[in-house]
RNA sequence: GCGGCGAUGGUGGAAUUGGUAGACACAACAGGUUUAGGUCCUGUCGGGGGCAACUCUGUGGAGGUUCGAGUCCUCUUCGCCGCACCA
């Protein structure tokens, strides 16, 4: 055995061994339980970052742990390979996106392999390969047949930087999720997937996911946004300039508070509403206001702080139940994209309407009697809008009804007049998947002048994307590619044109997990193996995908299920959202007023007397820099750490250990160079221990008479087993930082040198050798999921076996855990006062007696009487006095 | 505004779920090994008081339940994340 811990050599040899043995090929033998462990696949951006290392280390620890627990494990890896960065790189470097992507994949694959992940590489896939995206196209056509996919022209979110349409989910605060550019509204035809048809299921089935974090489920539920209410119409006789009745003389609105319908004093419509457009035609002031609203609505970020503003259109509509005339206002707080783009306004029972009415001096009519709030003051009181504590008043025949009864009665009356009905309104809208981009999956449609939009026949799939295009930044290069565009109509055979839009890349990632399982199926999207492996037992990835990717994947699964392609309802049984990797941010204001960032290695920290960080200075000029605390690793802040240099300097095992040790998986992880060194120090100590003490497997065959072994050795053994017990408990909680701690505790216990008589054949010497060999073999196995290379090597060198992968998972022995004597704490009135050692089988009365007579306790008993004594077996005694 | 999560030493974080708070590390300090630096080893390390045995205090804050609370309940402050005029 080498005296030094030569990690580079150790890791390369271990990786070579696994590759030669094909050690991680996933196979189901039907006898063992299956465990499908999936980490979100990376976008091949160029090289791995620390977030990847963390993500995949968590997955690998779980995979290796379950494998040793006796599961058949599938841990695949692939590439989310379509997408815009490839096009942007192509524009810059004049290289086809395909080449850029494949080069990146090759490099990043090497990086992943150098980290020693137990991945079944035979199942590797890239979404930009025709063999994969063929099935995107195939399923899209099936969805088209079922009416789940359809084409429509709609106002869409247009990202002016990426020159493409964005789904609503991809617009964040009015800006493109990737570019941050202010999104414009455009009228563009495109294909949509009817995710709203599944809204109810997507919401309800969240309850089938106990293994998901609460906040992710909440975010999805909010996103789906179900509200139950009544859709009804005000009646009018408003005609456009041609004399045509607008919307058949009905102003439709949606409300969740139909019980307040008799309190309506006006209606408010969105700026884009037809009635607003009409009214603006001869009212320049109104037209100007509407224009202002429309511009404002693009900047959704400002909406939150925006003052409620509005303007009277002069138009009047009739209340469907009271027949009263109601004025129609344009309100900047009414959204065209939600509900009907118009609302009934009840200032007495809606906070927004209240503010609006106050501002414009519109009538406020109370229609609900609120418990404990008889009088309506000038200021809004929260209970005015509380549907749970009121009955209808001033509402004619509905007076005295509570919320539910009132809604039922009102909905029934509206229905009788065919002017309304109960309705469930969703915030979720259909998923627009057309993208005016090149580097994506072609939408399999052919446009024929005679036949219209014709689906590409199955036998012509895949519609292959040419891989040699170099985009120049001016839109989609497919539009200029005659060889791609020109084709024959599958229906009539006449010359026709191919659709050049490609699919949103979220389509690619919506089902890749199912394809890993059926990776070798050539003539079907998925085969029987998918049903055997699915659902994913553990999915691991960033919280940033809490809505988009996870919602789309759930939707896609349900579509595939309804087409009888798969049998599961939900694709991911358990979800772990790993925390981000942070590092210090150092910056300085430049003379020009900008901010200059410093990389951590360019900085020296200044400590105060207590060792607290006081400040920092730049190594280059010795001048102070601002220490901004921790932030996500990013290029712009210059606080990223390159995994590659970490692996080269310390090895993959150190990188993996640090990642697991520094924080629990769900929490943010703060980078620390000294923490990395500490992790490396630990692994070196493990190696040194093995080299110095030779805890060889042969020692496990020594015959030990445990009854006569010294207490010191027994305690040492107990500590090791105790740490293992804790670690196994923590593994169940997926709390890996304390598993790493337990490894350190075990080594600490092993290193407690035991002074035993150095006589050959002495029982204590044997016991000590046994304890060390036993403990070290347990340490190696416990550590192996986190640090597979060093443990693989030592397992073999110390003769424990050929391959630690096939070793059984260590469990603590009861015999090693029991103590002859137990230390018990003694409390008086809940305060810790003394401790004592009692025999393990001492009974309660005995313990009570010992505690009360304890010298450290006696002084607290003077002048008071003992009221009660509580004995917690094995732990403590509490003497209650008074 | 709504929803979710969190607050424990100088720092990252433990506390087997109501039973010895601060495990395991990092940093710092002191000492040893070393020609020196690094490595490595030993010790100290929440705060106050005491020469000491010890003692008081302590998990953002205020109450409460309990023999006993970091953990449960109520209120409150601050921080992070998500959604946000959703009718």
pLDDT tens, residue by residue, A579-602: 999 988 888 888 887 788 888 778
**In A 687-746, which Cβ lie closer than 7 Å to strand B?**
725-726, 729-730, 733, 735, 737-738, 740-741, 744-745
Q: Is the pLDDT of residue A174 over 90?
A: no
Confidence label for A730 from pLDDT (cuts 50, 70 and 90): very high
Q: Is the pLDDT of residue A578 over 50?
A: yes
Task: Calculate the alpha carbon distances from A593 to A598, A617, A624 in Å.
Answer: 16, 19, 16
Residue A168 contacts strand B, CB under 7 A: no
Task: Calculate the alpha carbon distances from A344 to A250, A304, A320, A366, A716 in Å.
Answer: 13, 21, 11, 14, 76
Q: What gap in Å lies between CA A645 and CA A833, rounded to an integer? A: 53
Q: pLDDT above 70 covers what percent of chain A?
A: 95
**In A 438-477, which Cβ lie closer than 7 Å to strand B?**
none
Mean pLDDT for A635-645 is 88
- Tell me the CA–C1' distance in angstroms for A522 and B80: 47
pLDDT of residue A537: 96
Task: Calculate the alpha carbon distances from A816 to A12, A712, A721 in Å.
Answer: 37, 13, 7
Residue A270 contacts strand B, CB under 7 A: yes
Mean pLDDT for A525-536 is 95
- The string of DSSP codes covering A626-685 is EEEEEEE--TTTT----HHHHHHHH-HHHHHHHHHHSS-TTS-EE--HHHHHHHHHHHHH
Of residues A272 and A184, more confidence is placed in: A272
Of residues A726 and A383, more confidence is placed in: A726
Residue A196 contacts strand B, CB under 7 A: no
Q: What gap in Å lies between CA A680 and CA A700, rounded to an integer? A: 29
Q: Nearest CA to the C1' of B1 belongs to which residue?
A: A304
Confidence label for A337 from pLDDT (cuts 50, 70 and 90): confident
Q: Is the pLDDT of residue A297 over 50?
A: no
**In A 278-317, which Cβ lie closer than 7 Å to strand B?**
300, 303-304, 306-308
Contacts of A853 (CB under 8 A, 6+ apart): none
Q: Is the pLDDT of residue A624 over 90?
A: no
**To which residue do tokens 């450290």 refer?**
A856
Taking residue A704's Cβ as centre, other Cβ atoms within 10 Å add up to: 18
Cα atoms in the Cβ-side hemisphere of radius 13 Å centred on A727: 29
Closest-approach nucleotide to residue A356, Cα vs C1' = B85
- Going by DSSP bridges, is the β-strand pair A575-578/A538-542 parallel, antiparallel, or unpaired? parallel
**In A 645-664, which Cβ lie closer than 7 Å to strand B?**
661-664
Q: Nearest CA to the C1' of B82 belongs to which residue?
A: A219
Q: Is the pLDDT of residue A303 over 50?
A: no
pLDDT of residue A376: 65
- Tell me the CA–C1' distance in angstroms for A131 and B45: 62
**To which residue do tokens 């009277």 refer?**
A312
Q: Is the pLDDT of residue A503 over 90?
A: yes
Task: Calculate the alpha carbon distances from A416 to A223, A321, A396, A409, A419 in Å.
Answer: 34, 11, 18, 11, 8
- Tell me the CA–C1' distance in angstroms for A10 and B44: 38
- Tell me the CA–C1' distance in angstroms for A263 and B81: 39
Residue A255 contacts strand B, CB under 7 A: yes
Cα atoms in the Cβ-side hemisphere of radius 13 Å centred on A496: 22
Residue A668 contacts strand B, CB under 7 A: yes
pTM of this structure: 0.92
- Tell me the CA–C1' distance in angstroms for A624 and B43: 35
pLDDT of residue A843: 86
Q: Is the pLDDT of residue A237 over 80?
A: yes
Task: Calculate the alpha carbon distances from A305 to A223, A298, A332, A333, A477 in Å.
Answer: 21, 14, 12, 11, 41
Residue A675 contacts strand B, CB under 7 A: yes
Task: Calculate the alpha carbon distances from A758 to A322, A623, A766, A768 in Å.
Answer: 103, 60, 10, 11
Q: Is the pLDDT of residue A755 over 70?
A: no
Buried b (16+ CB within 10 A) or exposed e, A245-276: ebeeebbbbbbebbbbbbbbbbbbbbbbbebb
pLDDT of residue A758: 56
Phi and psi angles of residue A317, each rounded to the nearest 5 degrees, phi first: -125, 165
* Torsional class of A394: left (φ above 0), alpha (ψ -120 to 50), beta (otherwise): left
**To which residue do tokens 């010795």 refer?**
A622
Dig out the tokens for A674 from the structure.
């000294």
Query: Please, which positions of strand B sit below 7 A from a protein CB?
Result: 3-5, 10-17, 19-21, 23-28, 39-42, 55-57, 67-69, 81-87
Residue A347 contacts strand B, CB under 7 A: no
Q: What gap in Å lies between CA A632 and CA A635, rounded to an integer? A: 10
Q: Is the pLDDT of residue A849 over 50?
A: yes
Residue A878 contacts strand B, CB under 7 A: yes
Dig out the tokens for A588 from the structure.
């300085």
**In A 65-104, which Cβ lie closer than 7 Å to strand B?**
none
Q: Is the pLDDT of residue A513 over 50?
A: yes
User: How many Å separate Cα A832 from the centre of its chain?
Assistant: 44
Of residues A626 and A21, more confidence is placed in: A21
Phi and psi angles of residue A189, each rounded to the nearest 5 degrees, phi first: -75, 145
**Bridge partner list, A153:** A189
- Asked which of A168-177, A469-478, A494-503 is least confident by mean pLDDT, the reply is A168-177
Confidence label for A35 from pLDDT (cuts 50, 70 and 90): very high
Mean pLDDT for A253-257 is 92
Of residues A840 and A195, more confidence is placed in: A195
Mean pLDDT for A203-229 is 89
pLDDT of residue A807: 95
Select from A405, A382, A407, A402 the least CA-distant residue to A391: A402
Q: What gap in Å lies between CA A700 and CA A698, rounded to an integer? A: 5
Residue A260 contacts strand B, CB under 7 A: no
ipTM above 0.90, yes or no: yes
Dig out the tokens for A110 from the structure.
């090497």
Select from A706, A723, A822 the least CA-distant residue to A771: A706
Please provide the distance, in angstroms rounded to a whole number, between the alpha carbons at the two ends of chain A.
66
Mean pLDDT for A430-434 is 91
Confidence label for A272 from pLDDT (cuts 50, 70 and 90): confident
Q: Is the pLDDT of residue A300 over 50?
A: no
Give the CA dihedral A391, A395, A397, A398, nearest 10 degrees: -30
- Tell me the CA–C1' distance in angstroms for A348 and B68: 52
Mean pLDDT for A145-159 is 88
Dig out the tokens for A206 from the structure.
């969240």
Q: pLDDT (tens digit, 9 = 90+) per residue, A385-395?
A: 777 778 898 99
Q: What gap in Å lies between CA A170 and CA A182, rounded to an integer? A: 12
Residues making up chain A, counted from first to last: 882
Q: What gap in Å lies between CA A517 and CA A502, rounded to an integer? A: 26
Residue A171 contacts strand B, CB under 7 A: no
Whether the Cβ atoms of residue A666 and residue A579 lie closer than 8 Å to each other: yes
- Tell me the CA–C1' distance in angstroms for A580 and B77: 27
Residue A393 contacts strand B, CB under 7 A: no
Q: What gap in Å lies between CA A157 and CA A299, rounded to an integer? A: 12
Contacts of A223 (CB under 8 A, 6+ apart): A169, A427, A428, A547, A551
Dig out the tokens for A104 from the structure.
């990146």
pLDDT of residue A692: 87
Confidence label for A278 from pLDDT (cuts 50, 70 and 90): very high
Phi and psi angles of residue A411, each rounded to the nearest 5 degrees, phi first: -65, -40
Q: Nearest CA to the C1' of B39 belongs to which residue?
A: A681
Mean pLDDT for A222-247 is 91
**In A 610-629, which Cβ lie closer than 7 Å to strand B?**
610-613
Whether the Cβ atoms of residue A72 and residue A33 lie closer than 8 Å to each other: yes
pLDDT of residue A301: 36
Question: What is chain A's mean pLDDT, rounded?
Answer: 89
pLDDT of residue A180: 76
Residue A218 contacts strand B, CB under 7 A: yes
Mean pLDDT for A856-873 is 86
Confidence label for A113 from pLDDT (cuts 50, 70 and 90): very high
Closest-approach nucleotide to residue A685, Cα vs C1' = B40
């Amino acid at each position: 055995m080498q005296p030094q811990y030569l990690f580079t050599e150790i890791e390369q040899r271990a990786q070579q061994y696994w590759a030669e043995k094909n050690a991680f090929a996933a196979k189901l033998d039907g006898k063992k339980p299956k465990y499908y462990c999936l980490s979100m696949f990376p976008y091949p951006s160029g090289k791995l970052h620390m977030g990847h290392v963390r993500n995949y280390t968590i997955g690998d620890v779980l995979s290796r742990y379950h494998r040793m627990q006796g599961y058949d494990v599938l841990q695949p890896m692939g590439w989310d390979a379509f997408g815009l960065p490839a096009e942007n790189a192509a524009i810059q470097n004049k290289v086809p996106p395909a080449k850029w992507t494949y080069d990146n994949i090759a490099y990043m694959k090497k990086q992943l392999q150098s980290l020693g992940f137990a991945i079944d590489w035979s199942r590797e896939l890239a979404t930009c390969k025709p063999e994969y995206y063929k099935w995107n196209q195939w399923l899209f056509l099936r969805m088209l047949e079922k009416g789940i996919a359809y084409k429509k022209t709609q106002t869409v979110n247009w990202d002016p930087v990426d020159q493409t349409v964005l789904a609503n989910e991809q617009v964040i605060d009015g800006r493109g999720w990737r570019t941050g550019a202010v999104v414009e509204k455009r009228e563009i035809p495109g294909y949509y997937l009817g995710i709203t048809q599944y809204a109810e299921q997507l919401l309800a089935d969240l309850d089938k996911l106990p293994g998901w974090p609460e906040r992710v489920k909440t975010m999805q539920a909010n996103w789906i946004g179900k509200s139950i209410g009544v859709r009804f119409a005000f009646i009018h006789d408003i005609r456009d300039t041609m004399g045509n009745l607008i919307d058949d003389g009905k102003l439709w609105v949606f409300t969740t508070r139909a019980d307040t319908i008799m309190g309506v004093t006006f209606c408010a419509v969105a700026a884009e509403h037809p009635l607003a457009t009409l009214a603006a035609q001869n009212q320049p002031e109104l037209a100007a206001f509407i224009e202002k609203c429309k511009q404002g609505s693009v900047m959704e970020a400002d909406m939150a702080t925006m003052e409620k503003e509005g303007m009277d259109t002069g138009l009047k509509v009739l209340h469907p139940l009271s027949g009263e005339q109601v004025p129609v206002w344009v309100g900047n707080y009414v959204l065209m994209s939600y509900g009907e783009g118009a609302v009934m306004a009840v200032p007495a029972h809606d906070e927004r309407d209240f503010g609006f009415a106050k501002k414009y001096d519109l009538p406020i009519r109370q229609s609900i009697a609120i418990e404990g709030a008889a009088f309506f003051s000038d200021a809004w009181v929260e209970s005015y809008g509380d549907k749970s504590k009121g009955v209808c008043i001033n509402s004619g025949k509905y007076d005295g009804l509570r919320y539910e009864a009132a809604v039922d009665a009102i909905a029934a009356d509206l229905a009788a007049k065919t002017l309304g009905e109960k309705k469930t309104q969703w915030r979720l809208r259909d998923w627009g998947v057309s993208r005016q981009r090149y580097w994506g999956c072609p939408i399999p449609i052919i446009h024929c002048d005679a036949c219209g939009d014709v689906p590409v026949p199955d036998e012509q799939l895949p519609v292959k994307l040419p891989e040699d295009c170099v985009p120049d930044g001016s839109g989609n290069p497919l539009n200029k590619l005659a060889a791609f565009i020109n084709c024959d109509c599958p229906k009539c055979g006449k010359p026709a044109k191919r659709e050049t839009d490609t699919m949103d890349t979220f389509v690619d990632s919506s089902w890749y997990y199912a394809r890993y399982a059926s990776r070798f199926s050539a003539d079907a999207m998925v085969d029987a193996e998918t049903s055997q492996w699915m659902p994913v037992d553990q999915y691991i990835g960033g919280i940033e995908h809490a809505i988009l990717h996870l919602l789309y994947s759930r939707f896609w699964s349900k579509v595939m299920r309804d087409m009888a392609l798969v049998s599961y309802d939900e694709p991911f049984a358990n979800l772990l959202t790993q925390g981000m990797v942070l590092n210090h941010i150092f910056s300085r204001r430049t003379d020009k007023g900008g901010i200059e960032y410093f990389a951590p290695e360019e900085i020296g920290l200044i400590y105060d007397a207590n060792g607290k960080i006081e400040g920092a200075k730049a190594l280059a000029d010795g001048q102070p820099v601002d220490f901004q605390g921790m932030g996500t690793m990013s290029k712009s802040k210059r606080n990223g750490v390159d995994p590659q240099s970490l692996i080269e300097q310390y090895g993959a095992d150190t990188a993996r250990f640090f990642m697991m040790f520094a924080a629990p998986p769900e929490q943010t992880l703060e980078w620390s160079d000294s923490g990395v060194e500490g992790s490396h120090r630990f692994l070196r100590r493990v190696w040194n221990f093995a080299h110095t003490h030779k805890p060889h497997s042969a020692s496990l065959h020594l015959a030990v008479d445990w009854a006569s072994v010294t207490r010191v050795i027994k305690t040492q053994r107990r500590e090791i087993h105790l740490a293992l017990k804790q670690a196994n408990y923590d593994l169940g909680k997926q709390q890996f930082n304390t598993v790493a701690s337990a490894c350190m505790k075990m080594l600490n216990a092993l290193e407690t040198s035991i002074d035993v008589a150095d006589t050959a054949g002495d029982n204590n010497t044997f016991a000590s050798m046994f304890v060390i060999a036993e403990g070290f073999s347990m340490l190696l196995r416990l550590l192996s999921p986190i640090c597979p290379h060093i443990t693989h090597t030592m397992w073999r060198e110390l003769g424990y076996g050929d391959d630690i992968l096939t070793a059984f998972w260590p469990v603590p022995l009861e015999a090693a855990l029991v103590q002859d004597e137990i230390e018990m704490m003694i409390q008086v009135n809940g305060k810790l006062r003394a401790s004592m050692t009692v025999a393990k089988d001492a009974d309660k009365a005995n313990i009570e007696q010992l505690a009360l007579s304890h010298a450290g306790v006696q002084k607290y008993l003077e002048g008071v009487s003992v009221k009660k004594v509580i004995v917690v077996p094995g732990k403590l005694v509490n003497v209650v006095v008074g």
